[in-house]
Amino acid sequence: MTGHFIPDSLPTQLQHYIDGAWVDSAGGERFNVLDPVSNSNYATAAAGQKADIDRAVEAATRAFREGPWPEMKARERARVLNRIADAVEGREDRLAELETFDTGLPITQARGQARRAAENFRFFADLVVAQFDDAMKVPGAQINYVNRKPVGVAGLITPWNTPFMLESWKLAPALAAGCTVVLKPAEFTPLSASLWAGIFEEAGLPRGVFNLVNGLGEEAGDALVKHPGVPLISFTGETTTGQTIFANAAPNLKGLSMELGGKSPCVVFADADLDAAVDSALFGVFSLNGERCTAGSRILVERSIYGEFCEKFAARARNIVVGDPHDPRTEVGALVHPEHYAKVMKYVAIGKSEGRLLAGGGRPAGLETGNYVSPTVFADVRPNARIFQEEIFGPVVAITPFADDAGALALANGVKYGLAAYVWTNDLTRAHTFAQGLEAGMVWLNSHNVRDLRTPFGGVKASGLGHEGGFRSLDFYTEQQAVHITLGHVDTPKFGAAK
Ligand code: NAD
């Protein structure tokens, strides 16, 4: 690889940010951070341990109990959130360049992440101002109302795919609700999270409201999940990690929001606009390097158009530009880390015995180093195949034919996951009927993944627990206390009054 782009002023010693100050781990522990193009250690990051989580939770607790943040009027908090959005937008180029360098995401797609992150803050700023709660009257007897309160210190644990944007998806509603936070970003990609401190300082977020602890999941993440002073955990990551966190959160009965893995179907009926479906199916699985929880990684195609679809899809897949993530022409960059690269390559090898290889199948010619995988397409994949059932999280897709609606639905639902589903048909009745039967948290009809931030976001089955999005996110980060007021006389049974 020649001309490997290295951002200016690249930080090489990443630290925690606790109570408004950059600090190392109390015990001095560090871990190595690689970039996915050269796979060299460009930085080390402080590896948070229990003592560091304790320190961060202490600061967040103080900011919650004593600070102005939870008590501020919604409008005042919203002003800060809007300034955060401005500060994120002001760093769009820097953010995109750091994110691309650290994750291997193509630069054009990393730019979109910065804009989405800013939008998340604007959206929750609007929402918190517009929020109102119920008051209920029982004529002549009671008035009851909801007193909404931020829950306390929120633990936020995030993955390495689109790290900054996914951090914003938790930070924005948690802060809007009045919580204080401890963020534990993914260890593969800690670089962009280091921008948050400057953004929050610039926007005037009070000290101690935001705390960042870097580190490994089994150390820093684990300590955050088990900390008795953290009443809720919002987690995005693998299903197996979610299961571990679920168990570890049980002794303290924490509130949990879990966005987990997926193996989402893209179902193409013969009556669909075929070219639009091909465009969308390609984008759905190969954008963000295929490292996307909602990727349409199983394409189910009606038998009568199966041959034509496979041919068109594979021809386009073979033509996708794979290369240096910083090159604006690149459509698929480098996978995040050599460990993840090895996992994806293992599935590519498995796929060769489970399906008919139509495109890709390994490292692209001319890219001898770095975590590059050619967009890989397997056709005729049976539903019991591992590449049909298991989340690969890379640019690898399985295509399977179906005969009729019932067969398509059985295939679509025949995996343990249930995050997203995409359906292509021009038959209105079929589209809605089929959507009703899908075991998926989110369905797109004749579209790829275009989010409306007001809608529920989350999965069913092994893809998640709880839904965020819109007011649901604020519900997660707040308690709704019911206050009951008696009107007039209260009629109480008179215990102990018998003569
Ligand atoms: P991961 O589960 O390995 O790690 C996610 C985070 O959890 C990291 O910060 C990690 O350090 C931490 N962690 C790991 N073990 C922990 C433990 N025992 N206790 C506490 N924290 C722990 O996931 P990943 O590989 O970073 O991300 C990819 C996965 O995330 C994929 O499965 C993908 O589908 C999923 N994902 C889901 C969504 C969604 O919204 N449903 C969005 C993005 C990614």
Given 259, 291, 302, 468, the catalytic residue: 259
| 293 annotated active-site | yes
- CB 88 within 8 Å of CB 199: yes
User: In this predicted model, what pLDDT tens digit does every residue of 49-76 receive, in sequence order?
Assistant: 999 999 999 999 999 999 899 999 999 9
- Mean of per-residue pLDDT scores for the chain: 97
Q: What is the pairing mode between strands 442-445 and 420-424? A: parallel
Q: Is the pLDDT of residue 1 over 60?
A: no
From the CB of 263, is ligand 1 less than 6 Å away? no
Average pLDDT of the segment spanning 203-215: 98
* Cα distance between residue 376 and residue 286, in whole Å: 9
From the CB of 317, is ligand 1 less than 6 Å away? no
Q: Residue 53: what are its φ and ψ, rounded to 5°? A: -65, -40
204 SS3 class: coil
Query: Distance from the CA of 214 to the center of ligand 1, in angstroms?
Result: 14
- Those residues whose C-beta lies under 8 Å from the C-beta of residue 100, and which sit 6 or more positions away, are 106, 107, 110, 325, 326, 333
Q: What is the DSSP string of 319-364?
A: T--B--TTSTT-SB---S-HHHHHHHHHHHHHHHHHSEEEE--SSP
* Cα distance between residue 420 and residue 465, in whole Å: 14
Confidence at 499, pLDDT banded by 50, 70, 90: confident
237 SS3 class: coil
* Cα distance between residue 449 and residue 464, in whole Å: 18
Query: Distance from the CA of 25 to the center of ligand 1, in angstroms?
Result: 22
Query: Distance from the CA of 186 to the center of ligand 1, in angstroms?
Result: 7
Q: Report pTM.
A: 0.97
From the CB of 45, is ligand 1 less than 6 Å away? no
pLDDT (0 to 100) of residue 472? 97
Confidence at 210, pLDDT banded by 50, 70, 90: very high
Which residue minimizes the CA distance to atom 19 of ligand 1? 222
Helix boundaries (H) for 355-423 = 386-389, 405-413
Q: Is the pLDDT of residue 361 over 90?
A: yes
For the ranges 22-26, 113-117, 160-164, 442-446, which has the lowest average pLDDT?
113-117
* Cα distance between residue 394 and residue 346, in whole Å: 11
From the CB of 184, is ligand 1 less than 6 Å away? yes
Q: Is the pLDDT of residue 407 over 50?
A: yes
Q: Ligand 1: which atom is nearest the Cα of residue 186?
A: 9
From the CB of 187, is ligand 1 less than 6 Å away? yes
Q: Is the pLDDT of residue 2 over 60?
A: no
Q: Residue 212: what are its φ and ψ, rounded to 5°? A: -125, 125
From the CB of 343, is ligand 1 less than 6 Å away? no
Q: Ligand 1: which atom is nearest the Cα of residue 237?
A: 30
Q: Is the pLDDT of residue 38 over 70?
A: yes
| 29 annotated active-site | no
From the CB of 408, is ligand 1 less than 6 Å away? no
Q: What amino acid is encoded at 244 in this protein?
A: T
Query: Distance from the CA of 132 to the center of ligand 1, in angstroms?
Result: 33
Query: Distance from the CA of 203 to the center of ligand 1, in angstroms?
Result: 29
Question: Which helix H or strand E contains 218, and what residues bound it?
Answer: none
User: In this predicted model, what pLDDT tens digit does every residue of 257-295 receive, in sequence order?
Assistant: 999 999 999 999 999 999 999 999 999 999 999 999 999
